[in-house]
Structure 1
Amino acid sequence: MTTNLTDLQNTLIPLIQRERLEDIAMLLGELDADEVTGLLERLPANQQAVVFRLLPKDRAIAVFERFDPGHQGDLVKGLRAAEVTEIFAGLEPDDRAWLLEELPAGLTAKMLHGLTPSERQMTADVLGYPKGSIGRRMSPEYVATRTGSTVAETMARVRAGLDEAETIYTLPVLDETRHVMGVVSLRDLLRAEPDTVISQIMSDPVVATAYDTDEEAARRTADLGLLAMPIVDLENRLVGILTIDDAARILEFEETEDSSRQGGVEPLRRPYFATPIRRLVSSRIIWLLVLALGAALTVQVLSVFEDTLAQVTTLALFVPLLIGTGGNTGNQAATTVTRALALGDVGTRDVRRVFTRELAVGFSLGIILGFIGFLIVGLLFGFNIGLVIGLTIASVCSLAATIGGIMPIVARLIRVDPAVFSNPFITTFVDATGLILYFLIAKAVLGI
Structure 2
Amino acid sequence: MAAMAAQPTETLRDLLEDNDLPGLQNWLAEHPPYEIADELGRADAVHAVLLFRLLDKDRALTVFEELDPPDQQKVLEGLREPAFRDVVERMAPDDRARLLGEAPAKFARHVLAGLSARERRYTAALLGYPEHSVGRYMTPETVALRHHMSAAEALDVVRRKGADAETVYTLPVIDDRRYFLGTVSLRDLVLSAPDRPVAEIANADVPQVHATDDVEEAARLMQDTNVLALTVTDSENRVLGLLTFDDAFEVIEAADTEDFARQSASTPWAGHYMSASVVELARARAVWLLLLIVAATLTVNVLQLFEDTLASVTALALFIPLLVGTGGNAGAQAATAAVRALAVGEVRTKDVLRVAWRECRVGLVLGSMLAVVALVIGTLLVNVTVAASVAVSLVAVCAWAATIGSTMPLLAKRVGIDPAVISAPLVTTLVDATGLIIYFLVARLVFGL
Give TM class, smaller chain: over 0.9
- The 8 Å contact of residues 158 and 168 in structure 1, kept in 2 or not, is answered as yes
How far 1:394 moved relative to its partner?
0.8
Whether 1:278 aligns to 2:279 is: yes
How far 1:145 moved relative to its partner?
0.8
How far 1:81 moved relative to its partner?
4.0
How far 1:266 moved relative to its partner?
2.5
Q: Cα–Cα, structure 1 residues 47 and 351, in superposed 2: closer, same or farther, change >3 Å?
A: same
In structure 2, what is the Cα distance between the partners aligned to 1:395 and 1:43? 52
Query: How many residues matched?
Result: 448
Per the alignment, residue 442 of structure 1 pairs with 443
SS of 2:181's equivalent in the other structure is strand
- The 8 Å contact of residues 332 and 404 in structure 1, kept in 2 or not, is answered as yes
Mapping 1:98-137, distance limit 5 Å? 98-137=98-137
In structure 2, what is the Cα distance between the partners aligned to 1:84 and 1:325? 56
Percent identity, aligned pairs only, is 44
Q: Which amino acid aligns with 1:28?
A: L
Whether 1:95 aligns to 2:92 is: no
Mapping 1:347-358, distance limit 5 Å? 347-358=348-359
In structure 2, what is the Cα distance between the partners aligned to 1:5 and 1:223? 32
SS of 1:240's equivalent in the other structure is strand
Q: Which amino acid aligns with 1:368?
A: M
SS of 1:173's equivalent in the other structure is strand
**After superposition, what is the alpha-carbon deviation per residue over 1:94-119, rounded to whole angstroms, capped at 9, x for unaligned?**
11122123210111111011111111
Q: Which amino acid aligns with 1:262?
A: Q
How far 1:407 moved relative to its partner?
1.0
How far 1:310 moved relative to its partner?
2.2
Per the alignment, residue 254 of structure 1 pairs with 255
How far 1:415 moved relative to its partner?
1.3
Q: Which amino acid aligns with 1:62?
A: T
How far 1:65 moved relative to its partner?
1.3
Q: Which amino acid aligns with 2:349?
A: T
Per the alignment, residue 209 of structure 1 pairs with 210
Whether 1:221 aligns to 2:214 is: no
- The 8 Å contact of residues 9 and 42 in structure 1, kept in 2 or not, is answered as no
How far 1:361 moved relative to its partner?
1.3
Per the alignment, residue 237 of structure 2 pairs with 236
How far 1:5 moved relative to its partner?
5.5
Q: Which 5+ residue runs of structure 2 have no aligned equivalent?
A: none
Per the alignment, residue 367 of structure 1 pairs with 368
How far 1:172 moved relative to its partner?
0.9
CA-atom RMSD in angstroms: 1.9
Per the alignment, residue 385 of structure 1 pairs with 386
In structure 2, what is the Cα distance between the partners aligned to 1:4 and 1:34? 16
How far 1:377 moved relative to its partner?
1.2
Q: Which amino acid aligns with 2:389?
A: V
Q: Which 5+ residue runs of structure 1 have no aligned equivalent?
A: none
Q: Cα–Cα, structure 1 residues 298 and 46, in superposed 2: closer, same or farther, change >3 Å?
A: farther
How far 1:88 moved relative to its partner?
1.7
Whether 1:266 aligns to 2:267 is: yes
SS of 2:236's equivalent in the other structure is coil
- The 8 Å contact of residues 215 and 251 in structure 1, kept in 2 or not, is answered as yes
In structure 2, what is the Cα distance between the partners aligned to 1:164 and 1:46? 33
Which has the higher mean CA deviation after the structures are superposed, 353-362 or 47-56? 47-56
In structure 1, what is the Cα distance between the partners aligned to 2:370 and 2:79? 58
Q: Cα–Cα, structure 1 residues 91 and 369, in superposed 2: closer, same or farther, change >3 Å?
A: same
In structure 2, what is the Cα distance between the partners aligned to 1:20 and 1:183? 51
SS of 1:143's equivalent in the other structure is coil
- The 8 Å contact of residues 262 and 423 in structure 2, kept in 1 or not, is answered as no
Mapping 1:72-221, distance limit 5 Å? 72-204=72-204, 205-221=206-222
In structure 2, what is the Cα distance between the partners aligned to 1:242 and 1:312? 64
- The 8 Å contact of residues 373 and 386 in structure 1, kept in 2 or not, is answered as yes
Per the alignment, residue 314 of structure 2 pairs with 313
Which has the higher mean CA deviation after the structures are superposed, 28-37 or 373-382? 28-37
How far 1:144 moved relative to its partner?
0.8
- The 8 Å contact of residues 412 and 422 in structure 2, kept in 1 or not, is answered as yes
SS of 2:346's equivalent in the other structure is coil
Q: Cα–Cα, structure 1 residues 5 and 358, in superposed 2: closer, same or farther, change >3 Å?
A: closer
Per the alignment, residue 411 of structure 1 pairs with 412
Q: Cα–Cα, structure 1 residues 217 and 29, in superposed 2: closer, same or farther, change >3 Å?
A: same
Q: Which amino acid aligns with 2:192?
A: A
**After superposition, what is the alpha-carbon deviation per residue over 1:250-297, rounded to whole angstroms, capped at 9, x for unaligned?**
111111211222122233332221222221111211221122112122
In structure 1, what is the Cα distance between the partners aligned to 2:121 and 2:265? 40
Q: Which amino acid aligns with 2:151?
A: V
- The 8 Å contact of residues 5 and 38 in structure 1, kept in 2 or not, is answered as no
SS of 2:275's equivalent in the other structure is coil
Provide TM-score, normalisation by structure 2: 0.94
How far 1:16 moved relative to its partner?
3.3
Q: Which amino acid aligns with 2:270?
A: R
In structure 1, what is the Cα distance between the partners aligned to 2:416 and 2:403? 20
